[in-house]
Structure 1
């Protein structure tokens, strides 16, 4: 994975890496877990309300796929940490989805996307090969990175 990393950031004591997998850009953490960028969001769960009777979750922040599939625990994160992660990687915060889309975090406007652009420039053949696999999770990432 080391050659596929396009962006790193440490937020709230957790190290995050943006990297390119066989099906496009992903985010992972040194605390465990990863998810494709695009279908993920940052969600604050209150187990009694969001997952009644499920003891796997504690109250806190998570990166989830779609709206509730937990992929990365953000244990110990504050709301400020969650907002910083949202801005750094362009991952929307779930409660922001009711706001106009222009107010939401956008991967293509993030620091992580700038890193992806540089990675694509430095690895053109690998990027083009990966792009041919699929772009379903983050449509247009390759085209925007080369423009």
Structure 2
């Protein structure tokens, strides 16, 4: 069934059971789909979390590194190294892709203060609201998550 559009029911099954079952196990629930097709679709639909390196600590959604006995957020360390100076207490580092574990420099943006950082997040929220109203994203009350609508039209 490669190349055939996924039905709403199939997407629902992937979203509900995908985090819990392997592609091979999911073939029982999706008998018309191959293991490869299921694996590819799972990859496209779910955020793949990056493994936590042994030297870093995961506290909440962020990674921290112990330096001289203090835990320091990795995203701040990356930005400080790039700038060649320590960040001020007021400065904030924004994760462009909204993944707090992606600390690649090209994913980080320096904000002058909390207010500046908050304005960026407010804008992201307004984009999500617009996409919701356009039908590009929906919310599944059965599993409590947002998802991209497959047949959405973008203006």
Could you say which structure has the larger radius of gyration? Answer: 2
TM-score category by the smaller chain?
under 0.3
TM-score, normalised to structure 1, is: 0.27
Larger strand share, 1 or 2 = 1
What is the TM-score when the length of structure 2 is the normalising length?
0.27
